[in-house]
Chains A and B, each alone.
Chain A
Amino acid sequence: MSALAPARLTLGPLLYHWSAQQRRDFYFRIADEAPVDTVYLGEVVCSKREPTFAPLMAPVVDRLRAAGKEVVVSTLALVTTRREVETIAEIIASGLMVEANDVACVQLLAGRPHVVGPYINVFNEGARDFLVGRGALRIVLPVEIPAKSIRIVAAGDARVEFEVQAFGRQPLSVAMRCYHARAHDRTKDHCQLVCGLDSNGLTANTIDGTEILTINGTQTLTHGHAVLLAELEELRQAGVRHFRLSPQDLDMVRVAALYRDVLDGRQEAAAAVQALRSMTGDIPFVNGFLHGRKGLAWI
């Protein structure tokens, strides 16, 4: 068996609504200090947030590239308006590598090389093969896909690379309705970007007091952080090359260093899990989807 290509770490798109300054400072530090190979920028959740970061996009891209990072621009997961379609067309026209999160983006790319994001359902070889034929160079698998499927989908296809989210809250749904606005008795059209109040999202508890979900505007995420550390080697063997760290408002440079150390054999997975726990407080870890169990399980 030939040696595996070196594993890569990626920083997924920021899902929360941070201020322009917080975003710039975050990405500059990532550029300068984080051992990640790829950084995904761009707004995935809500087009109303897009103007916040737009003026800073160019300097952030420059800084990341100067640091040797690959830059990919992620696009909206749920596209409904002409304006949103136009924005995607503009991103494609910019010439940057694009992550398609709605089939609309795949259509607009018209065969150009791209990344298929985790919001497009690729659960099987049939969907994989069709999208590879349309220019997919890398496929970020949906968070729900179990390892037994990954072993089949990611096996031995030199035309395409695979990526799996290995850290951070997992996206569970996207919607038109804004639940952040609803929690504040507002509607989406009059939201005043209230999602910006919660830099790690808004925790939703069950009525008997269990923290269960995280609200992020129109998106719903797990409450727990997905942590795939003990599974990295198995995923590598299955054909996954890229491991995504989803930004949270915590020391992502240190998170990246921990994952890099485990990938490079400098640190045991169990010790890295303990180190992560010291950073994330009471928030549980989850990895159930990968193991074919309920998503909130920690195996």
Chain B
Amino acid sequence: MSPRYLELVCPAGTPAALRAAVDAGADTVYCGFRDCTNARNYPGLNFDVDELREGVAYAHARDCKVLVAVNTFPPAGDAGPWRRAVDQAAAAGADAVILADIGVLDYATRRHPDLRRHLSVQASAANAPSIAFYRENFGVRRVVLPRVLSVEEVAELIEEIGMETEVFAFGSVGPMSEGRCFLSSYLTGLSPTSEGACAPASHVTYTEQDGQTLSQLGGTTLNCFARGEPAAYPTPCKGRYVTNGRASYLFEEPIGLNAIAILPELKSAGVTALKIEGRQRSRAYVTQVVTTFRQALDALAGGVAAPATDLSSETEGGRETRGAYQRGWR
């Protein structure tokens, strides 16, 4: 077998999605417990302890690793669920935990020194001294880089830090510094940082009005669009706002991130792993996206160009961007 080109890290929002990702060729899957300890705390998603143990067994039997995200920030006086999540991930045989909160990192470091720790994108570590802080204090082995850096900046950073990095390859474009965005709680009162749900479905409404669809979050109108017009799920950063009398997608268009065309550049930059986002997406999404990336990586590992692909049916708004990787996005 040829050496691995880039590690393919895939979303497992449910046990079925975990099996789909493994079967489609994931090198690694990531998942979370069914509570506020991870940043995709949505109804119908995630794992209980038994499901995680079974998922780990399924993945390990097929030479696939399992990461467990415990990447929200515990509120004061209530660290118990986060500590328990780390304990249970360790007991279930997870290969690593993905953490963001300094208190949780400190706990995991002291309690489970042998459990591999990755730094979540929620920690917003986008520079060498920040990453050094987490490595020196908590023995972090891999950092998930925020979606704010160009390929050149990723390369410079990896050269400077000399450690494993994981970058987003497919999913949504997160224009804000993650883990430090309070826009959704400003509109809903529920916190993505501590409760793990940005724009929870319970607070989203769609209203048909004169042939248009009005989307609201927590009673605040975020968009109005005609049938067939591309529109994103109504997170505050994907809404349409009016500035200086003009309506626009002020933060980001309804468009998805797809870095499949720049895998060689990411490899040259020294990236270790590619993250496919989408624990909240369907099993069919997982199968299609993971299969497509598997084929591309296998082709590149074999020294040939990746085949042409079309994942536009799986991207937000049906359109694609390379996001911050390309200069000019800012």
A binding-site residues for B, Cβ under 8 Å: 77-82, 84-85, 102-108, 119, 121-131, 142-146, 148-153, 170, 172-179, 181-183, 187-189, 202-210, 212-213, 215, 220, 222, 288-289, 292-297
Contact = CB atoms under 8 A, between A and B. Distances in A.
Nearest to B214: A208
Interface string B184-203: 01111101011000000000
Contacts of B74: 123-124, 126
Which of B133, B247, B327 gathers the greatest number of chain A CB atoms within 10 Å?
Answer: B133
Interface stretch (B12-20, B29-37, B218-226, B264-272): B218-226
A78 B73 CA distance: 19
Contacts of A293: 189
A78 B246 CA distance: 28
A80 B126 contact: yes
Interface residues of B, number: 72
Nearest to B178: A173
B42 to A, nearest CB: 19
A205 B242 contact: yes
Interface in B304-330: 324, 327-330
A75 B290 CA distance: 41
A172 B186 contact: yes
Interface in B61-85: 73-79
Given A123-B74, A126-B106, A149-B77, A183 B130 contact: no
25 contacts: A77-B180, A80-B153, A82-B156, A102-B127, A103-B129, A124-B76, A126-B101, A126-B102, A127-B101, A149-B76, A151-B76, A172-B186, A173-B183, A174-B177, A183-B250, A202-B244, A204-B241, A205-B243, A206-B220, A206-B242, A207-B241, A210-B221, A289-B182, A294-B187, A295-B182
B289 interface: no
A295 B129 contact: no
A187 B103 CA distance: 37
Given A104-B133, A126-B107, A144-B194, 9 more contacts: A103-B125, A125-B79, A153-B76, A174-B180, A176-B177, A181-B330, A213-B183, A222-B186, A295-B186
Contacts of B185: 144, 289, 294-295
A79 B175 contact: no
Which 3 A-B residue pairings sit nearest by Cβ, starting from the closest?
A126-B103, A295-B186, A188-B330
Interface in B224-283: 224, 237, 239-244, 246-248, 250-252
B26 to A, nearest CB: 29
A125 B77 contact: yes
Interface in B105-126: 106-107, 123-126
B250 A182 contact: yes
Interface of B: 73-79, 100-104, 106-107, 123-130, 132-134, 136-137, 148-149, 153, 156, 160, 175-177, 179-183, 185-189, 191, 193-194, 218, 220-224, 237, 239-244, 246-248, 250-252, 324, 327-330
A11 B239 CA distance: 33
B176 A130 contact: no
A284 B26 CA distance: 50
A206 to B, nearest CB: 5
A212 B220 contact: yes
A179 B182 CA distance: 17
A183 B104 contact: no
A104 B127 contact: yes
A207 B223 contact: yes
Contacts of A81: 127, 153
B157 to A, nearest CB: 8
Given A119-B180, A173-B182, A206-B222, A144 B241 contact: no
Which of A145, A149, A212 gathers the greatest number of chain B CB atoms within 10 Å?
Answer: A212
B251 A107 contact: no
A182 B239 CA distance: 14
B9 to A, nearest CB: 23
A210 B214 CA distance: 15
Contacts of A170: 182
B148 A121 contact: no
Which of B103, B175, B191 gathers the greatest number of chain A CB atoms within 10 Å?
Answer: B103
Contacts of B237: 173
